Amino acid sequence: MDFTLHKGEILTLIGPNGAGKTTLLKLVLGLLQPTDGRLWRKPSMTIGYMPQKLHHDPSLPLTTARFLQLGLKPKQPLDPYWIEKIGVTAYLQQPLHSLSGGQLQRAMLCRAVMRQPDLLVLDEPLQGVDVQGQAHLYRLLVEIRETLGCAILMVSHDLHLVMAQTDRVVCLNGHICCSGTPQSVREHPEYLRLFGEQDTVFAIYAHHHDPDRCASHGTHSHD
């Protein structure tokens, strides 16, 4: 597996469950060490990370504003531009544990973005977000990239909405099945084999994974 992520690029990892998307993300973040192979990260890079879930315990009293500030340097003020843009204003002074799932996700995104990262890493940012919210999020990501000039790496199950705004899609299934512009990946025979042909934008996710056909790509295991 070999790929490069450049500054200012939006790259989306897609692939079925167990394909290694999260593992790759953890390697990039340094949470896991590669057992084999090489990983080069630009030295002293600022990373903004939006995890899938926070698992915040209500015994720790924290307002949303304080949660955002903890991602910054001590005493660094919050940037009202992103708070407004990402839509966190309304619950800034509310306790973190009282937020809904979607509100918490926006708060996590806001924290990651306010760090002014060189690399923004988003782990399944679409989970539990409705279709309207997804469209909003993609417009937001493009704007974040344009304003900060950062690279964005995200993991998604979603296929079509992602592709509209992504520069490059890497389709994983234990190895890189295929990669390229959204359009080229979409027409790639490997991709079609993995996900099947989908005509409608809101097609229900169907994972057609045929071990026999995949076996020709070398050694990797399936669950």
Partner 1 sequence: MTEIVLVITATGLMVALLSALLGVFVIWQKQSYFGATLAHTALLGVALGLLLQVDWQWLVIATALFTGWAVHTLLHRTRLSADTLLGMLAHSTLAVALVLLSYSPVQVDINSFLFGDILSVGPSDLLLTALLLLFSLLFMQRHWRHLLNITLNEELAFAEGVAVARVRLQLILLLSLVIALSIKVVGVLLITSLLILPPAAARHFSRTPEQMLLGSLVLASISVLGGLALSWQLDWPAGPAIVVVATALFLIALPFRRA
Binding residues (CB under 8 A) for partner 1: these are 26, 29-31, 47, 49, 51, 54-57, 59-63, 66-67, 70-71, 74, 94-95, 98, 115, 121
- Quote the least distance from Cβ 34 to partner 1, whole Å: 16
Residue 2: how many other CB atoms lie within 10 Å: 7
Nearer to partner 1, 91 or 195 (CB): 91
Comparison of 54 and 161: residue with beta carbon closer to partner 1: 54
CB of 219 to partner 1, least distance (A): 27
User: Side by side, which strands form the sheet with 47-50?
Assistant: 47-50, 119-123, 151-155, 10-14, 168-172, 176-180
Q: What is the CA radius of gyration of the chain?
A: 18
Tell the smallest beta-carbon distance from residue 23 to partner 1 (Å): 13
Q: Smallest gap, in angstroms, from Cβ of residue 171 to partner 1?
A: 24
CB nearer to partner 1: give 97 or 188.
Answer: 97
For residue 123, the surrounding DSSP H or E stretch is strand 119-123
50 vs 126, which CB is nearer to partner 1? 50
CA distance 222 to 119: 31
- Among candidates 52, 54, 55, 53, which has minimal Cα distance to 21? 52
Is the CA virtual torsion 168, 121, 6, 114 positive or negative? positive
**Do residues 93 and 63 make contact, with C-beta atoms less than 8 angstroms apart?**
yes
Specify the residue, 30 or 149, whose C-beta has the smaller distance to partner 1: 30
What is the rounded distance in angstroms from the CA atom of residue 161 to the CA atom of residue 142?
A: 13
Report the Cα 72 to chain-centroid distance in Å.
20
CB of 98 to partner 1, least distance (A): 7
Which H or E element spans position 142?
helix 131-148
Measured from the CB atom, the residue of 51 and 133 that comes closer to partner 1 is 51
Nearest distance, CB of residue 97 and partner 1, angstroms? 8
